[in-house]
Amino acid sequence: MRVPDLSPLLLSIALLAAWLPATLAMAPMPAAAAEKVADSNTTSINGIRSLLHNGKPEVARIKAYNLLKTGHVDDRERRSLLRIIAVAEEMQTSLHEYSDADQAIAAWQNLLKEFVSPDDAAGIRWKICWLYWKKGDREGASRAAEELLKENPSSDQAREAHMLLARINIGNGKLHAARKNLMKYMLDSSSDSDQAQGLAWMGVVDFMEQRPDTAMQNMIKAINLAPGFVSSDVTLLSTYVQLLYANHNPDVFQRQADRFFSLYLDQPQAMLIRLLHANVLAEQGRTKEAQQSYERLSEVAPETSVGMKAFMRKLMLQNTGVNDLQSLKPVLASLQKLAVENQISDIEDEAMLDQARLWTRLAGQVDKAEEKALDLYTQVSVGTFAEYAALARKEGYGLFVRHLDATLQKQAWLESIVLWRRYAQLREPPQALQGNELKAQRNMLLGVAGAMRRLMDFDAAEEILAALYKDTSSSVESDRVMLERAELWQDRHDPDGYARIMRWLDTHNFTLYRPEMLIIAAGIQLQNGQPSQASQTIRQVAEQDIAPEMRTAYWRTRAEIAEALGQWHPAAAAWASHIALLGGKVPADTLLRRADSLYMAGEFAEAGSIYSNLPGEMHDNRWQFRMAVCEVRTGQWTQAEERLTGLTQNPDAAEYATRARLLLADREAINLMEKY
């Protein structure tokens, strides 16, 4: 009998034996057993929560992990356990000042992966943002906040995310983005405390954007809404103290600085507040206390920005009133060293500003001290640090005006224009001027235009005068500007200058400068070949009506008109009056013109006296001949014969050699007639 093959049967039995236990394990637990497990889990979870409440997060975390590993938990219980683990991790990392917050962040992220409600998800995402922030991971906090805004834009936590992003952007210098975040935060805020928080941080943004007035307004609004809130954050309080300093409110500054020191003395911002406190002491004249404060700061942190500023300010305070170069040389050297070692920084700008102040102090004692100071002021004025640039423009402008005015007073026209063009950045006043300051600025511009006119830079002078005339059109100063414009037209030989002057006089009947304008008009007529009309114009002017500075021009114009008309005696008299007003500084060519007028008038003795005193470089052939004629006419024939003979023998004498021969021949004929 054939034995059957049992291999398939045995295989089926083996497979069944392997499958049955697994199937039994996966089979639904009987209802009673399931209820028993659920009750047990609830009891365990409540016990774990009690551990958290009793300050035992590590034990709670371990028990929660162990319960999760059993697998006998439903979705609700799983979420509860994951939340307990996240809270426990957060409690643990808070004990270490959030330096090891990664596990807590991961725990909250694990909970977020569960099917949680939108409100719960927003809260979890905010927890993640906050943990990144507390850890100091600004980039991670920013990413988490952006995710929260994307996934839960309408949640309460979205508003807090805007505030967090604003603070991150402030720290990164992204002030425009920070302002947008704060605007959105305040738009959704209803409570006074939330509004105060938004306004306070908006004040920080305004302060960083160099708008201290607006920043102070926002800070005051925040303080009024929530007194004490600004003191709750080191950045807010330090900004408020700096604003009080910038607004020159020393009493309130002192109180708030003391409050800052009581709360945040160990914070990095305390160094800056101590520096400002020392500045206030110096401004109040408490020099010794200020020096001590500066010295302590410079010793405690010599390599920091605050330490170096304290060192410079101590130097300047110690050398107050020192005005000699030898004593200030070490100070200048120290400041120069700091500037070189800290280029493109506010340290460099402050060091250069202090050097400029010292060179200004040495003005008048050291050669080119003003130019050295102005060079330094110019460098700082175009720098990137607004506070120092503003100081440099203000102080530099004042020195520039004084130095340029002194140069103009010396009639150093070329040097004046060099200064004007070299320090173009300092020409404009730092703020609107009034009173004497405005008058000084206009006088400076008028002087510069006059210097340009004398150097024949007529277009540049015209540009300045046109702008100045427009600026002064509503005041009597415009008449003085028009007088300078008229002088420019005369010097430039504008053919229509006379007509323009007369049109202006027709519309300004009561101008105090009518006599002076008529003198210039007569000069332009003379240039245009109209001496008779020029004579009629100048006859309308009486000397006593003319300003002293224009009387020399008056007599010069009268002399030139008389010369053009061949009226030599009046010309000589006018030149005499002109020369008398010049004092001891009479140009040689002016003396020559008076001598020529006297010569043509037949006043040979007086003419010869002037000719004989002219400098040697003017003794040309014309001078030799006229001097000889004067000598002949005054009976000094011996000297005259010698000069005339010399002219006849000079191959370059040309017509004067011929005239000399004729004069010698005439004299010889007279001698022959007397002899025979």
DSSP readout, 478-542?
A: HHHHHHHHHHHHHHTT-TTHHHHHHHHHHH-TT-TTHHHHHHHHHHHHHHTT-HHHHHHHHTT--
Q: Which residue has the tokens 């365990």?
A: 44
Alpha-carbon distance of 158 to 164, in angstroms, equals 10
Q: pLDDT for 109-137, tens place per residue? A: 988 888 678 888 999 999 999 999 999 99
* Segment 59-96, tens digit of pLDDT: 888 888 888 887 678 888 888 888 888 888 889 888 88
Tell me: pLDDT of 21 over 70. Answer: no
Residue of 68, 155, 158, 172 lying closest to 114 (CA atoms): 68
Q: Are 315 and 329 in contact (CB under 8 A)?
A: no
User: Angle between the 637-648 and 655-675 helix axes, to the nearest 10 degrees?
Assistant: 130
- The mean pLDDT of the chain is 90
Q: Contact at 8 Å (CB) between 403 and 440?
A: no
Would the pLDDT of 20 be above 80?
no
- Decide: 482 and 469 in contact? Cβ < 8 Å: yes
Range in 30-39, 173-182, 273-282, 638-647 the model is least confident about: 30-39
Lowest mean pLDDT among 110-124, 280-294, 457-471: 110-124
Asked if residue 599 has pLDDT above 60, the reply is yes
| pLDDT-based confidence at residue 8 (cuts at 50, 70, 90) | very low
pLDDT at 18: 34
Residue 65 is predicted with a pLDDT of 83
Report the C-alpha gap between 249 and 35 in whole angstroms. 73
| Residue 416: its H or E element | helix 413-422
State the first-to-last Cα distance of the chain, in angstroms, to the nearest integer: 202
Q: Which amino acid is at 423?
A: Y
Closest CA to 641 of 605, 675, 668, 613: 668
* pLDDT computed for residue 36 by the predictor: 45
Q: What is the pLDDT of residue 76?
A: 85
Task: Convert 261-282 into a string of H (helix), E (strand) and C (coil).
Answer: HHHHCCCCHHHHHHHHHHHHHH
User: Across residues 362-372, what is the average pLDDT?
Assistant: 94
Residue 33 confidence (pLDDT) = 43
Query: Over the stretch 414-450, which tens digit does the pLDDT of each residue have?
Result: 999 999 999 999 998 888 888 888 999 999 999 999 9
> What pLDDT score was predicted for residue 56?
80
Once rounded to an integer, what is the mean pLDDT over residues 298-319? Answer: 96
- Does residue 245 register a pLDDT over 80? yes
Block residue for tokens 């007639």: 673
Predicted confidence band at 26 (pLDDT cuts at 50, 70, 90)?
very low
Backbone angles phi, psi at 580, to 5 degrees: -60, -35
Yes or no: say if 634 and 611 are a contact pair by the CB < 8 Å rule.
no
Look up the pTM and report it: 0.78
Q: Which two tokens stand for residue 526?
A: 């003379």
Confidence of residue 40 (pLDDT cuts 50, 70, 90): low
Helix axes 435-454, 413-422, angle to 10 degrees: 120
Amino acid, res. 512: L
- pLDDT > 50? residue 482: yes
With b meaning 16 or more CB within 10 Å and e meaning fewer, what string describes 6-42? eeeeeeeeeeeeeeeeeeeeeeeeeeeeeeeeeeebe
What's the pLDDT score for residue 400?
A: 97
Mean pLDDT of 622-634: 95
Map 293-335 to HEC letters: HHHHHHHHCCCCHHHHHHHHHHHHHHCCCCCCHHHHHHHHHHH
CB 399 within 8 A of CB 374: yes
* Tokens 């009629």 sit on residue: 536
Query: What is the mean predicted confidence (pLDDT) over 47-70?
Result: 83
pLDDT in tens, 389-405: 999 999 999 999 999 99
With 60 as the cut, is the pLDDT of residue 13 above it? no
Each residue's pLDDT tens digit, 513-562: 999 999 999 999 999 999 999 999 999 999 999 999 899 999 999 999 99
Question: CA 370 → CA 178, 403, 420, 648, distances in Å?
Answer: 44, 7, 13, 58
